[in-house]
Amino acid sequence: MGGALRLMSNKGCLRKNTMKVKIINLPNGYKRIIYGKYFEQFDLDYEQDLDVLKKDIEFALSVIEYNRSIFKKFSSLFENKIIFVYQGGHHLDIIDRDKGSLK
């Protein structure tokens, strides 16, 4: 299936009136749309099934969280937040449990 992978709410993606969006044509004819502040920070195989992609994102986030001192750019990502990857019917989203999509 296609679907969207949002690595941040689209409201937060606007930078100088532009939003970075990546479109991937999947082998089954669907398109996968990827956007958000953090998607360029993850070098992932976005053509995988969503459940496998979710596990890869969770793993990447755990590496970043464990090595916060190395990944200073992301240090505020985990500050006072409970982060998890939400999987809907056709999309993934990185969520702060108490506030919704990351902003």
Tell me the two tokens of residue 91: 């999309």
Instruction: Please indicate, yes or no, whether the overall pTM of this predicted structure exceeds 0.75.
Output: no
Give me the phi and psi of 64, to 5 degrees please. -65, -45
Whole-angstrom distance, CA of residue 33 vs CA of residue 62: 24
Task: Say which DSSP state 87 is in.
Answer: E
Q: How many CA atoms lie within 13 A of 98 on its CB side?
A: 5
Q: What is the pLDDT of residue 57?
A: 92
Low-confidence stretches of the chain (pLDDT < 50) are 1, 8-15, 17
Per DSSP bridges, beta strands 3-6 and 21-25 are unpaired
